[in-house]
Amino acid sequence: MAAVTGTSVRPTAPPGLIGTRVNRVEDARLLAGRGRYVADVTLPRIKHAAFVRAWPSHARILSIDTTRARTLPGVVAALTAADLPPATLVDGNWIPGLAKTPQPVLARDKVRFVGEAVAIVVATSRYVAEDAAELVEVDYEQLPAVDHAGRRPSGHVPILDELPDDLIYDRGESFGNPDLMFRDAPHVFVKDLALARSMAAPLECRGTVASYDPAAGSLDVWCSTQSPHLLRRRLSAASGVAEHRVRVMMHDVGGGFGQKIAAHPEELAIALASCALGIPVKWIEDRRENLMAAPHARGQRVHLKLATDDDGRFLALRARIVGDAGAYSFNAASALIEPYITARVMTGVYRIDHYGYHVAAGLTNKSPVAPYRGVGFIAAQTARELLIDEAARSLGIDRFELRRRNMIRPDDFPYRSCTGLVFDSGSYLEALTTVERMSAYDDFRCEQEQARASGRFIGLGISPYVEPTGWGTEAMNQIGWHSFPSNDSARVSMDISGKVTISIGTPSQGQGIETTLAQISAEVLGIPLDDVVVSFTDSSSAPTSLAGTRASRAAVVSGGAVGLASQDLRERILKVAGALMETDASILTVADGVITDPSEDAASMTVAEVVQKAFQLTEIRSAEPEPNFTATRFYDPGATYGNACVGAVVEVDPQTGGVRVLRIVGAEDCGTVINQVVVEGQFIGGMAQGLGGALLERLAYDENGEILTTTFMDYLLPTSTEVPHFEVEHLESPSPYTWRGIKGVGESGTIGAPAAIAAAIADALAHTGSTVDRLPMLPEDVRAMVEQGEDRG
Amino acid sequence: MTVQPDEVVVTVTVNGETVRHLVDPRTTAADFLRDGLELTGTHLGCEHGVCGACTVLLDGRSVRSCILYAPQLDGCEVTTVEGLSPVPGELHPIQEAFRECHGLQCGFCTPGFLLTVHEFLSETKGADEDEIREAISGNLCRCTGYQGIVAAVQRADETWQR
Ligand code: FES
Ligand code: FES
């Protein structure tokens, strides 16, 4: 059985490395157990840290006593905020109306969520450090917890003094004239959806090793991070060590999915501890810490209204979104990353000319919210697609047909949405039709009838979508999101042996970047894949990428920069080759590392020979005065949008509320495909995470702000038995605005799958008259739907 | 070797090599392998026995090294990911199958899966997809969605001469 049923429907690339299925070059070391993750880093004199973390969710710190901890044998130090220079983290977002909430790297006067770091113990081993952490005595005056954005408990004390109502943002915007359209609309449909908190939960937790050298005045940091240059900036600001003396390094990262974008308070605190003590300090997070104190995600309530005419044409849309920020508007991208993005992408793949939204985000006494794969999109996608299904049912129009009537069409491109997104190219209708075929929709309807007659409830859900990828400056302007400069540079250097090293600032957390970027460079340069290595291990040698690896951007932005730099390098090599071969460089071809002059009976030289001669022969300098074979290029792509459609079939057990996903099919379009192996891996892995968010993953707090899900026995990730075999087909609509038409795909599957699964549950239980109003749909939530139906019936 | 009152001696054969080490008795088997023997291919994803990233073979059976103590390894034979392929630089057929079928992304869960699959395929031939999914259901992978891993097990079932 093939792993994936896939065909390239519109192959566009000429035969070459770009577009070829290539096994990943990073795999051999990972399979041999020779991956190097941050927990594997060790240094002479290294000591191990454990954090003392807050147990109350909201409290004033009256005193901290570290005496007992410090006297335990093996303890080097026990440090509180008072022992370290004051350092805070603030988001770099400049959306008007967004309040700033500086977060101290160790809590000073107050703790604001369970798990907030209060002190660090450094000892000879992690075991001793944990023992000593339990001996640190913190005296708290407890305050009432704000457990729900915008809800004030009795005796309410604001989480931050400056924000008496805990609100950090409360604004809206209108496009077209939604008021008028709603007033005159023949039909209005309404939908409420609550998304619980969930999280990225990469299998490798966070971790860092910091080594300050007081003699050199330099700070070396190894970290499990997605954004080494961003972290370097924050480390420099916190420690006072100049940025060029701070190095951030990493080798392999065990998954990130957004959680490792931000500079985390713990990472800064460990660096400050190393500076204070003058020794290397290592902190490797455990799962309990990760679940309670690493940033969470989602946590939104969406209220949506759709106006249609009698034929089901979408006249206007209105959204009200409330986001649960957690205790701080986190430095990754601010607490608006969920609700604001939801609002801005709400109209999706449909022609909707009139739209208004209101977004509120409020602090709560919970772990802060940060980006997690599909951030913001999932809430928009799930609420909108569920609402469209409800409208279809009520209007008596088939669900595929209703979508088709309202979808942006191929001849609409470039299509400007009412909110100002300019969709460059895509296959929206085709993706929908492909999923209709793959899911055998007509047969499914009969099957569903028969099943129902025999007391089984199966349902089908569909979820077509478009997503911004790459997020260059133009895309950010279109979305109205201003948080990080999204450009990259890449340096492509050929050494004297004719082999190439690519340096980039966008590390891989499993996305196969070492392979795909090597494919790009090898194809452009005309050399074998094996002659290219990709290096992202050191912030001091990699060209700056402040954004790092996030937002489905590495293939588009780093890929484009690598492509452009490789083109420059190719030109320089051919120029020298032309001089050596005494011919016009423009007629030379290069393939498999050999440069050929087609006019001269196939006269040829290898690329390596050309480079070697250029170093040796001074005569060459009349053609190429500076024969260095290094090219660096900057790239900030035009706005580009990927698209896809996911279909899901589920069976619901009305007795237990259990949901089994029987099938998931998907048609995906990320423009020019560099490597199908990697694209399928991203798409399928993303859909599996979406399944977790739809059916399993919920971070729960009680009303006092106590977190209840602190192990993988309470916070359930999908296993191989909950996840079905995914069937995938590829469509290919290259972007006219990016290098070689590449679009991103990292987040795609995670965006699409939850809506498809939620809609399938709603379809299976449509006869009950109940609707899906939350994610995830745990068995008790499904049971509640069934019971509501029974009460009504 | 002088044994301190709070230390115990552990004699264990790891990947074919017998070693004698002094350990603090509360050291987990995983930390002993990673820190004591510097075999860092064994990973820790939860340290409470759920994720399977720390899976190693103990006398041929898969175990979670994060919930065993180092002294429990005494007198036993342990195989870690580093010992799967007898020849450095070459991959075991299971490892090769994972590469062929894109059975890994970040690679953090991978050593645990490889050893779980090693045990499964040592005992089974010709398993169908459901049986394979059941066999690997105690290991979590956050990246792949399991599809490549299932395909890799099917491939290794064919290619591994055993
Ligand atoms: S680390 Fe041992 S099972 Fe997760
Ligand atoms: S490959 Fe990343 S967790 Fe499995």
B8-83: CATH topology? Ubiquitin-like (UB roll) (3.10.20)
In chain B, what are the domain boundaries? 8-83, 93-159
Mean of all residue pLDDT scores within chain A: 95
Q: What is the pLDDT of residue B3?
A: 65
Q: How would you label A429-465 residue by residue, b for 16+ Cβ within 10 Å and e otherwise?
A: bbbbebbbebbebeebeeebeebeeeeebbbbbbbbb
**Atom from ligand 2 closest to the CA of residue B113:** 4
Instruction: Decide: B53 in ligand 2 pocket, CB within 6 A.
Output: no
Contacts of A771 (CB under 8 A, 6+ apart): A191, A386, A390, A762, A785
Q: Are strands A774-775 and A187-198 parallel, antiparallel or unpaired?
A: parallel
State residue A182 phi and psi, 5-degree precision: -65, -35
Q: What residues of chain B lie within 8 A of the CB of A257, using their CB? A: 142
HSE-CB for A308 with a 13 A CA cutoff: 23
Q: Which CATH number applies to A297-478+638-792: 3.30.365.10, 3.30.1340.10, 3.40.50.300, 3.30.70.20?
A: 3.30.365.10
A38-143+208-253+260-284 and A297-478+638-792, same CATH topology: no
DSSP A186-229: SEEEEEEEEEEEE----SS--EEEEEEETTTTEEEEEE--S-HH
Question: Could you give the CA distance from residue A47 to residue A120 in angstroms, rounded to a whole number?
Answer: 12
**How confident is the model at residue A705, as a pLDDT?**
96
Give the closest-approach CA distance of B88 to chain A in angstroms.
9
A–B interface: beta-carbon pairs under 8 A: 179
Which residues of chain A lie closer than 8 angstroms to B114, CB-CB? Answer: 31
Distance CA A470, CA A474 (A): 10
B142: nearest CB among A202, A678, A720: A202
Residue A12: the pLDDT is 40
Q: Are A741 and A671 in contact (CB under 8 A)?
A: yes
Pairing type for strands A457-469 and A640-652 reads: antiparallel
State the distance between the two ends of chain B, measured CA to CA, in whole angstroms: 41
For residues A210-222, average pLDDT: 97
Q: What would the pLDDT profile of A384-418 be if each residue is shown by its tens digit?
A: 999 999 999 999 999 999 999 999 999 999 999 99
Yes or no: say if A373 and A750 are a contact pair by the CB < 8 Å rule: yes
CA A609, A615, A618, A621 torsion-angle sign: positive
First to last CA, chain A: 46
Q: Which chain A residues have a beta carbon less than 8 Å from that of B39? A: 33
Collapse the DSSP code of A62 into the 3-class scheme (helix H, G, I; strand E, B; otherwise coil) and give the result.
strand
Contact A203 B101 (CB under 8 A): no
Q: pLDDT (tens digit, 9 = 90+) per residue, A729-775?
A: 999 999 999 999 999 999 999 999 999 999 999 999 999 999 999 99
Tell me how crowded residue A8 is: count the other CB atoms within 10 A of its CB: 14
**Is A38-143+208-253+260-284 assigned to CATH 3.90.1170.50?**
yes
CB A72 within 8 A of CB A135: yes
Mutation for testing the B interface, residue in A23, A25, A27, A126 having most B CBs under 10 Å: A27
pLDDT band at A117 (very low <50, low <70, confident <90, very high): very high
Taking CA–CA distances from B99, the nearest residue in chain A reads A27
| pLDDT band of A547, cuts 50, 70, 90 | confident
Centre of ligand 1 from the C-alpha of residue A61, in Å? 35
Separation of alpha carbons A565 and A550, rounded Å: 22
The nearest CA of chain B is from the CA of A194 a distance in Å of 24
Q: Which atom of ligand 2 sits closest to the CA of residue A204?
A: 3
- Mean pLDDT, residues A629-635: 97
> Per this entry, what is the length of chain A?
793
| Assigned fold of B93-159 | DNA polymerase; domain 1 (1.10.150)
Considering CB atoms only, which of B26, B137, B144 is closest to A719?
Answer: B137
Q: What is the DSSP letter of A24?
A: -
CA A790/CA B13 separation, integer angstroms: 63
* Domain ranges (residues) in chain A: 38-143+208-253+260-284, 297-478+638-792, 487-634
Tens of pLDDT, residue by residue over A558-600, are 999 999 999 999 999 999 999 999 999 999 999 999 999 998 7
H/E stretch holding A792: helix A779-792
Q: Residue A519: what pLDDT?
A: 97
Using CA coordinates, name the residue in chain B closest to A373.
B143
Q: How far is CA A505 from CA A226, A228, A263, A754, in A?
A: 9, 7, 15, 32
The best mutation among B33, B43, B54 to test binding of ligand 1, ranked by most ligand atoms within 8 Å of the C-beta, falls on B54
φ/ψ of residue A227, rounded to 5: -135, 75
Q: Report residue B1's pLDDT band, with 50, 70 and 90 as the boundaries.
A: low
Quickly name the fold that domain A487-634 has. Answer: Aldehyde Oxidoreductase; domain 4 (3.30.365)
Q: Which residues pair with A77 in a beta bridge?
A: A122
Pairwise CA distance, residues A201 & A291, whole Å: 7
The SS3 call for residue A69 is helix
> Does ligand 1 have an atom closer than 6 angstroms to the CB of B108?
no
CA–CA gap between residue A303 and residue A172 (Å, rounded): 14
Q: Which residues of B touch A4 (CB under 8 A)?
A: 147
What residues of A are in contact with residue B80 (Cβ under 8 Å)? 33
Ligand 2 binding pocket includes A255 (Cβ within 6 Å): yes
β-pairing verdict for A500-503 and A488-494: antiparallel
* Per-residue confidence (pLDDT) for residue A625, from 0 to 100: 85
Record: contact A27-B81, CB cut-off 8 A: no
pTM summary value: 0.96
Closest ligand 1 atom, CA of B30?
2
- At how many degrees (to 10) do helices A748-764 and A377-395 cross? 30
Q: Measured between alpha carbons, how far is A650 from A329 in angstroms, rounded to an integer?
A: 37
Length of chain B: 162
Cβ of B149 less than 6 Å from ligand 1: no
The token pair that represents B28 in the structure block: 């987990």
Closest residue, chain A, to B140 (C-alpha): A719
pLDDT in tens, A440-454: 999 999 999 999 999
Summarised one tens digit per residue, pLDDT across range B18-53 is: 999 999 999 999 999 999 999 999 999 999 999 999
